[in-house]
Amino acid sequence: MMKRIVIMGASSGIGLRTAEIFALTGWHVGVAARNEGPLRALKEMFPTQVEYEVIDVTRSDAPHKLTELIRRLGG
């Protein structure tokens, strides 16, 4: 089974670099942040390993969006 991780705040800085490292080492990576551009770029770099969702944790739909991202990662 492929190892999986979800990283919030993955559109820049430590979150983005951590997501890249996990994807490079073979993990299935779910990334989330408010800024879609970097998430989309990460998906393009690792199309079979990265899933993303635009999530603003201050909004009421954040739990639903996180659940959807986890579902796309395989649970």
What are the sequence ranges of the domains in the chain? Answer: 1-8+30-75
Query: Residue for token digits 């770099």?
Result: 45
pLDDT grade, residue 2 (50/70/90)? confident
CA distance 26 to 63: 26
Strand blocks (E) in 1-75: 4-8, 28-33, 50-54
| Alpha-carbon dihedral sign for residues 29, 72, 38, 58 | negative
pLDDT in tens, 14-63: 999 999 999 999 999 999 999 999 999 999 999 999 999 999 999 999 99
For the chain, give the mean pLDDT.
Answer: 96
Token pair listed for 26: 């073979």
pTM: 0.92
